[in-house]
Amino acid sequence: MLTRSDDLEILLTVIDSGGFSAAAEALDIQVARVSRAVSKVEKQLGVTILNRTTRRIELSDEGRQFIESVRIGLIQIQQAEEEIISRGALPKGRLRVDAASPFVFHQLVPLVQAFNHEYPNIELELTSNEGFVDLLEKKTDLAIRIGQLSDSTLNARPLGVSLLYIVAAPEYLSRRGFPKKTSDLVNHDTIGFSGAKALNDWPLRSFGALKPVLISSNGETVRQLALAGNGIACLSGFMINKDIEEGRLIPLLESEKLTNTGREQINAVFYKSSSVAKRISAFIDFIQPRLLL
């Protein structure tokens, strides 16, 4: 290697700050030191990287290609250093995780104590939002998203699939009877969602527009309304599997149900960042085999 990484860092700072004086100020070194580093790199490589005038500097064609490669290379060196320093050490620091409140209540909360025991140096912060949040705007490291993904700028790891169920409480069914086919729903009270209209598109053959008698923006509220005998609801298995097993809710119209609608998918999404990557991996690796979807 002909050049030194510290000289290359100075060269990058000159380019990013727009000049020798600005680079010297940013790095808190003398302008002469900056000038020597740039000249040294050019001399070692035998090419002109920066075209200089009295008013400005600009990259030569050779310099433009070289600088992009250098930028990538220095990032890789930094990441390699961080990885080897932290190897063998437990991840630590704050991890902000966001999910819809039913997923937090029924899936994440039961796992928090064991996770904290295994990773005592991770400060877990859980937030609940019924819609998709902007991770950068909300300063969120990791979000659990239910349904098909549309944001291609995010990294995603599948957590599994949670089936949808059309359900009602035994008390409601004893009072109003069982629907035998999809069209029977018009004669029943249904519970739907406000805001996210896609959640009112139930996965049933020949399903028309839902006209719910009760609506809520919160999935846990919809569950509680169904448990209290207020009507028929469509909910994900991750929040009602236990209710079904223990007879508090009864699955309906199973022969009419559609599968693989996209709404069954559950993913963890995040931006790649070396500073939180180990915390994100630790959290996902811990919860995935323990989720009851």
Q: What is the pLDDT of residues 193-209, one digit of tens each?
A: 997 778 898 999 888 77
pLDDT, one tens digit per residue, over 236-245 is 999 999 999 9
DSSP string for the chain = --S-HHHHHHHHHHHHHTSHHHHHHHHTS-HHHHHHHHHHHHHHHTS--EEE-SS-EEE-HHHHHHHHHHHHHHHHHHHHHHHHHHTTSPP-EEEEEEE-HHHIIIIIHHHHHHHHHH-TTEEEEEEE-SS---TTTTT-SEEEEES----TTSEEEEEEE--EEEEE-HHHHHHH----SGGGGGGS-BEEESS-GGGGS-SBTT------SEEES-HHHHHHHHHTTS-BEEEEHHHHHHHHHTTSSEEE-GGGB----STTEEEEEE---TTTHHHHHHHHHHHGGG---
Q: Which pLDDT belongs to residue 132? A: 72
- pLDDT band for position 27 (cuts 50, 70, 90): confident
Mean pLDDT along residues 216-240: 96
Q: Which pLDDT belongs to residue 96? A: 92
Name the pTM for this structure: 0.67
Q: Are 91 and 142 in contact (CB under 8 A)?
A: no
- pLDDT band for position 5 (cuts 50, 70, 90): confident
Is pLDDT at 23 greater than 90 in this prediction? no
- pLDDT band for position 160 (cuts 50, 70, 90): very high
Q: Which pLDDT belongs to residue 100? A: 92
- pLDDT band for position 189 (cuts 50, 70, 90): very high
Tokens representing residue 263 in the block: 């709404």
- pLDDT band for position 2 (cuts 50, 70, 90): low
- pLDDT band for position 252 (cuts 50, 70, 90): very high
Mean pLDDT along residues 276-281: 85
Structural domains in the chain, sorted by start: 5-86 (1.10.10.10), 93-162+264-288 (3.40.190.10), 164-251 (3.40.190.10)
